Structures are given as structure tokens and as C-alpha cells.
Amino acid sequence: MTTIAPATSVDLPSSERTAAAPVAVPWFLWAVAFASTSVMVGIIWDISWHRTIGRDTFWTPAHLAIYLGGAVAGLSCGWLVLQTTFGGSVRDRAAGVSFWGFRGPLGAWVCIWGSLAMITSGPLDDWWHNAYGLDVKILSPPHAVLAAGILSIQIGAMLMALAQQNNARRGDRGSELPFVYAGGVFIVMLATLVTQEIAFANAQHGNTFFIVSGVMFPIVLVGLARAARGPWGATTAAGVYMGVTMIMIWILQLFPAQPMLAPILRQVDRMVPPPFPLLLVVAGLVIDLVIRRLPADARWVRQSATAVGAGLAGLVLFGIVQWYFAEFLLSPAARNVFFAADQWDYNSRPGAWQYEFRTAPATWGGLGLAAAITAGSSLGGLVWGNWMRRVRR
Amino acid sequence: MRAVARMLVLVCAGVAASAHVGTSNAYFEGAAGPYGVRVIVRTPGVIPGLAQIAVRITSGTGVEAVTVRPLRADVGLEGAPPADRARPVDGDAALYDAELWLMTPGSYSVHVRVAGAAGEGTAFVPVLAVAERRLPMPSAMAAGLLGAGVILFVGVITIFGAATRESVLPPGDAPDRRRRVRARVVMGLTTLVLAVTLWGGWTWWDVVDAAYRDRMYRPLQTSTTLTDTEDGAALRLTIDDPAWQGRDWSPLVPDHGKLMHMFLVKDDDLAAFAHVHSTPDADGRSFDVPFPPLPAGTYRVYGDIVFESGFAQTLVDEVEVRERPSLSPQEARDPDDSWAELHPHGAYDDTAYGLPSGRAMRWHRPEALVADQETTLRFAVTETDGRASVLEPYMGMVSHAAVTRDDGSVFMHLHPTGSISMAAQRRFETAEGLAKPGLHRHGAAGGVSFPFLFPSPGPYRIFVQVQVAGVVETAAFDVNVSPAFGPG
């Protein structure tokens, strides 16, 4: 067993020191931030590839970006663990957690787990294609294993950034930035997983949209708002989600491409971008404004009420704004390069359905269920956020 | 043993695909403009899946490029992706290969284009895209995945334990007893949650698997009856399948002028064979045909039909004949109906067959026939004096053949143009405005050849039909097909 040195024997950063200084980002944080971004860019690119070209091999650039991210996360964190365990100082080892006799930051272990899950999903996915045919859905059991791996890398990046933030001196400028960036990329992944349910404007008036949004977003946004040191954790992360998605929308459309599978039901001559991002900054803004008023040591009842209030207020305002924004996205004004609301898969038959809501409008019953789920998700976010704000290793 | 074989027949019939039983591969031999081509499409068995296309140039020189495109029936060439260039195969200058994705179930055609010094030509090879098999997971792979799964499972529990025990402690602080206990409790809870998650994943997998099996192609359910009528015994094949009622099927189209080509094969010894043509009743559910005067026994019934979309399918059933039926009057029969009594399967291993008229049919049998390898079945018919017989068209074809495995797990109706439905091919040609006259390679005078690929090893019988001097004659040849990688 590894012996842990007593706290007094280690020269630890003191949160009492107040000298303001920009935070130096260590190499492994750069590495996992790159890994998390590479995987996410690869996933968005790959989905676009399937919607535009259709045919692929393992060696498409999109797949390479995904697996490069997995490899960078696994190798960099593996190296960090080996370095910490065998070559690190007492202080380095004391800054990690123990795992099967090795020591390293908690986030590194989560990233390594994510890499292994991604590797495991590879042969399973390949067999799945041979057994049941190529996927036509984002979510399948092997993709769920891949998604678990990717989400782990993103959560691992968040945890490593958290330890950095929480060990930084009070007043260190920007200590929360790696964390909220990692959180933003995590939101991109979550939103991508439910693309078919909520991402397209013509699905955004139905019960499913509000229920799925209520499950996915409050837990993350409340958690980020609670855990980030800065006042705009949720807003910034939501902004990162929107920014990454919009950049991908604008870049993908620059590349000419043509479908390579039959049936081709519409002519496509450039990469089909993802749908325009949800206006989650609205929810993030409301949640930040409410959560920031919550003292760190508030009683549990107050914490819960504040979290539920923040989540509900955020999601209600987001829901209202998105309701009208969806109508805008279905209008001719959104059929341009900026919003890309007129870009559809090569194998979708052109028709009026593109610009019509395809689900029945939300009902009071559905919205009530969504509100209850939002409250539960917000409480989950509070618990997660409270834990994250204390993560030190 | 017979019972086992019978069960096998039923099982295989359940998973059979395409216009044939036991294989959905498609073979075509014919013309692509100035070039003779033989095209073999090995279907993937899963949809979406990758079909393997082999194009052999059988005549014409100076070929510069061979390209292939997949066409789905409803969108045709307009909705087809750009052509893929087939690659020349090392060591065989006339052979080209390519791969094409079949993305959705239904009727497709592979559009083959050959370009070269003599100009360019095209050919359509109808293919059915259907899910017909379910792949088992190799045990080594299952073991590997299980091992990885165990590592991941224990890894998650360890991470949650470490997160609870140490992650919130300032660097350097050792966890106290309370934290250690709490970490164990969390690890226990994580184990429970993970177990439930795994169970959920397993159930999900089961649901996907069940839905896939549901989508797998199976022939329409049918029933057959044999009744005595004034005109003799009448066989009625009825489509009972609920999918056929209120059906969303396109209408049937005639293939060689017939809406159904029905084949009857005596089950126990394959010693009786008929190729008859039944007509549907008013509601299109039942197909009636006079049963030919063949010996009593159980007969396998195969009914080939083609839909307007180009989708072809074989209905599979069997019928019990208690006594030899009498010959029905000529006006009750289709003029192209034919039947024959032959030697029992396996009783005669020769490449020459004496036809009832005294003529002989000789099979130019290759040294070895191996499963899943392209071959040509060549036959020659000679008069009693040894001269080559003049073969007449029989339903527009110089010859018809049926290949069946002894247990019935494979059945295919072949022409010199291959296994494809001519009606389906014509449908694709017409849709693209490229219909051409029926120029199909028939072989030399007195001889016929069929492109073929035995889908599995085992004992087979080949029935070959030709028409000479207005009489249809049927020969049968038996062969044992070797496994692709040797018997070991």
C-alpha cells in the first residue's frame, strides 16, 4: 500500500494567500482538454459524414479525430499516473488518489477508464455492424459503451481541471476556465447524444423536447454553476457548447462532399452541418444568477430550494425562448449559412415536413412531467456540484 | 437422420432469402454492350451491409474500366451514388471486383458499366437487399470482451471508491476511518447500480436482437392442398401470410410470360421433378395448377414470383401426394408445363444422361466443385447419331435449370443468363430507358451453360431442361460439392 504523507509534511498551496496571478495550466490539463475537444469534433464530424457521404471506413478523418482524442487522453493520463507513482515527489503522490497500488489524480483515472471503454467498444461495434448491419441510429449498445468512454474522458478532464481550480489560490485569475471549458464540451456531447430527440427545430414544440431537456441540462448547468469558482460557470459552459457547435456548423459547410450510398433522395454538395445549437446560455444565465446567491454553507433545505428554483426558472425561460426560436429556425429567414436550417441528410426525402413541426405541441401534462424531472435533475446537479466544488485531487 | 434433414429444411426455409432458397447471391451472364460479362453479387446478409461484386469479362478485349453503382428500385440511377471503379484482380486479367453498400431492405440493382476500346456497355443485375442471417459472436471475441468488461466494471467501482475516500481531501491528508467506511458503502452501491445498468444494457441488446429477427426476411407463409377435380388432381398454393392481406406489395409481373413458375421436387429421392405454371385466383391469394402424373410421395413446392418493384421471392411449401394423379386434359394445363421421372438421387454418378427420346445430355463437369467458388455448369445435348441437337427456346430461354441440395436447404432456378429474374432486370432497364432486346448468350449449338456458385458444400442435384423438336426434356445430375477450405 502506498503511504500517504501527512498534510503537515507537504508544502501545499494555501488558499489563504491572495496575490492575484494568472493560473499556469499544467501540460496534462492541456492534453485532456485537447483530447476532449478532439473526440467531440470527431463525433460531430462523423455524424455529418454519415449524413452527407454515408460510406465510411475506420480511417476517415472523423474517426481518427475521435480515436486520437481517446489515445491522447489514455496515454497522457497513463504517463501522468506512472510518473506520479514511480517518479513523482511526495507532494505529487499526495495530490492523487490510490488505485490498485498506483497513484494519480482522480480525473486521470476516469480518463484512462474512458480510453479503455472506447477501445473495448471498437471490436464490439465492428461485430455489431456485421451482425445487425451498419448503424442508422446514434444510440446502439456498442455506441453506448463508446459514449460512456467519451463522457468519461470529458468528466475526467473536468475533474482534473477542478482539482486545479480548487487548489488554486483565491483570487487567481481564470482558475475556473479549464473547468468550465471542459464542462462546455461535456454539454456538447450530451446534446449530441439526444440529437434525434431534441436538436432539430421541428421537434422542439413537443413534450419529448421539454422532458429530455429537463433530464439532461439542469443537472449539468446547476452542477457547473455550483462548482465553478467564477460567477458565470453555467453561462460560460453553455456558451462553449453553442460556440463549438456553431463553429462546426460554419466550418463543415465549407467542405464540398457528395453522397456515396443509395438511395440518394436529395442532392447534397457540401458537408451537412449539425442543427443550430439550443439557446442554452439563457438557462445558464438564469441558473448562474440564482445559484451565485447561495452561500457555500447554506442549509440543505435552502440549497435544495435554490437549486430547484434555479433549474426551473432557467428551463422555463429557455423553453419559452427556444419555442419562438424554433419557429424562427423553420422560417425562410433561417435558411442560410449562418443558421443552416435548410441542410438535410442526403437520404431524407425533400418535403414540407422540413419546415413543419413534426410532433404535437406540448401538453400541460407533458410540461408538468418535464418540470418535475427538471426539479429532480436540478437536485442532482446540486449534489454533483457540491461534491465537485470540494474535489482537490 | 431423415427427420433431422427435414427439420433442417424447415429451419433453412425460414431463413431463406431472395427468389431462391438458401442463398440471396445473384449471378448474371450476358452482354454489357459489346462486352460479354458475368457478374456475381454476394449479398451481405445484413442490411445495411456490404455486397461483394465480381465482374468477369467473358468476351471483348481492350477493357479500360469497369464500374458499378447500386440502384434502389424507387429512385433508380438518379438517386444512385457515383460509380465505383472495380479493381482488376491480380492473377486474373478478366476479373474485376468491387464492394457496394446496400442500405435499406428491398429491391436493388447493380448497374455495371464496361468501357474500353470497343466502346461502352451496361448491364443491370437485380439484387434483393434483405437481412437473412444473424451472426453468432466468436467465443474468443466474447471472452475478450468479457475480460475487458470485467476490468471496466471493477474500474468503475474502484474510481467511485477513490472519489469518496480521497478526492475531496486536501493533497496530503490521509482518509480517516469514516471516509474509508463510506467509500466501501459507495463501492457496494456502485456495484448494485452497475449491475442494474448492465442488466438494462443486456435487455436493450435483446430488444434490438428481437427487432432484428423480426425484420429478417422469411418467405410468405403458405399452405397447399391437393384436391381431386374432373380434370384430375389440382394443387392449390395459398398465401396465408397476414402480411399479404391488406398488402402493401406492388403487383406481380410475369417472368417469361408466367406469373408463377412452380417447381415440384419429390422429397425423399429427388426422382420426380416438374416445372409448371400456376395462375392466381381473383383475389391474388391462391395459385392453382393441375398436378402432373408423378409418383406418390411428399413433394417440395417452390413458387417463384416477381413483384413490379423487381423484388422476387420464392414461396416454399410441401404437399403430400397419396397416389399418382392422372394426366389432366391439355386445355387444363399451361402449354409450357413439363415434368419428368428420373433416377433416385445418388443412384447414378455419370456425366452422361440418357433422355427419354434417346438423345443424350452430357455434363462437362469440372474436376472439383467447391462451395462459394464461381463455376460454369456446361451441358451438351446430342442426337442418337451423336450430332449436336438443335435447341429451341423454352419460354424464351435456351434452357432452364434448377439446383437443389438434397435436404432442400438450397433451391435455385437458373437460366443461361444466371439466377436473376429476367422480369426484374427488364424492369430496371425500362425504368432507366435502357431496355434492350433479349440478347443473351446461349452457348454453342447444342450446348448450354449456366453461371453458378454453390452456396454451401454437400450433395446437390441439378435438373436441366431443354426443348428439342418441340419436346421438353429433363436430365438430372448429382454432385458432391466440397467445402471451400477442404474437408478438414
A103 contacts A2 by C-beta, under 8 angstroms: yes
Amino acid B44: pLDDT:
86
Q: Report domain extents, chain B.
A: 25-129, 139-215, 222-481
Q: Are B264 and B276 in contact (CB under 8 A)?
A: yes
The shortest C-alpha distance from B25 to chain A (Å) reads: 17
Inter-chain contacts counted by CB atoms under 8 A, chains A and B? 154
Whether pLDDT at A68 is above 90: yes
DSSP state of A204: T
What does each C-alpha distance from B229 to B64, B232, B277, B317 come to in angstroms?
61, 5, 18, 21
Q: Give the model's pLDDT for residue B113.
A: 96
Task: Give residue A130's pLDDT.
Answer: 80
Distance CA A179, CA A212 (A): 25
Query: What does the pLDDT read at residue B6?
Result: 37
Cβ <8 Å between A131 and B135: yes
Q: 3-class SS at A383?
A: helix
A12, A100, A260: residue with CB nearest B158 = A100
Is pLDDT of A4 > 50? no
List Cα–Cα distances, B17 to A129, B26, B304, in angstroms: 20, 11, 12
Check residue B361 and give its pLDDT.
94
Gap from B242 CA to chain A (nearest CA, Å): 25
With bands split at pLDDT 50, 70 and 90, how would you rate the model's confidence at A22? low
Q: Which residue of B has its CA nearest to A94?
A: B172
This prediction's pTM: 0.81
Residue with grid cell 467511485, as numbered in its chain: B160
Contacts of A124 in chain B (CB under 8 A): 145
Element (H, E) at B440: none
Q: What is the CATH number of domain B25-129?
A: 2.60.40.1930
- State residue B436's pLDDT score: 64
Residues in B closer than 8 angstroms to A54, CB to CB, are: 81, 101, 103
**Whether the predicted pLDDT of A74 surpasses 70:** yes
Query: A-chain residues within 8 Å CB-CB of B167?
Result: 97, 106, 159, 391-393
DSSP H helices in B16-138 = none
Q: Which residues of A touch B132 (CB under 8 A)?
A: none
Supply the pLDDT for residue A118.
95
Residues A264, B75: C-beta atoms closer than 8 Å: yes
Res A5 pLDDT > 70: no
* pLDDT of B444 strictly over 60: no
pLDDT of A304-323, one tens digit each? Answer: 999 999 999 999 999 999 99
A179 contacts A197 by C-beta, under 8 angstroms: no
pLDDT at B182 over 80: yes
Q: What is the pLDDT of residues B155-175, one digit of tens each?
A: 999 999 999 999 999 988 889
Which residue reads 413458387 in cell numbers? B303
User: Please, are residues B26 and B419 in contact by the beta-carbon 8 Å criterion?
Assistant: yes
Instruction: Grade residue B332 by pLDDT with cuts at 50, 70 and 90.
Output: confident
* Average pLDDT for chain A: 91
Q: Is the CB of B155 less than 8 angstroms away from the CB of A127?
A: no
Give the C-alpha separation, B144 to A242, whole Å.
40
Instruction: Please give the radius of gyration of chain B, using alpha carbons only, rounded to the nearest integer.
Output: 28
| Amino acid at site B255 | D
Neighbours of B72 (CB within 10 A): 23
ipTM above 0.85? yes
**How far apart are alpha carbons B6 and B2 in whole angstroms?**
6
Sign, CA dihedral A152-A158-A164-A169, equals negative
Query: How would DSSP label each residue in B247-264?
Result: --PPPB--BTTBS-EEEE
| pLDDT tens readout for residues B64-116 | 999 999 999 888 888 899 999 999 999 999 999 999 988 888 889 999 999 99
Residue A11 has pLDDT above 60, yes or no: no
- For chain B, what is the mean pLDDT? 87
Instruction: State the nearest Cα–Cα gap between A326 and chain B, in angstroms.
Output: 31
Q: How far is it, in rounded angstroms, from Cα A39 to Cα A69? A: 5
State the Cα–Cα distance between residues B79 and B74, nearest whole angstrom. Answer: 9
Q: Judging by beta carbons within 10 Å of its beta carbon (0-12, 13-18, 19+), is residue A208 exposed, middle or buried?
A: middle
Q: Could you tell me if A132 lies within 8 Å of chain B, comparing CB atoms?
A: yes
pLDDT in tens, B453-465: 998 999 999 999 9
Q: Which amino acid is at A93?
A: R
**pLDDT for residue B19:** 53
pLDDT average, residue stretch B381-398: 90
Mean pLDDT score, B412-423: 89
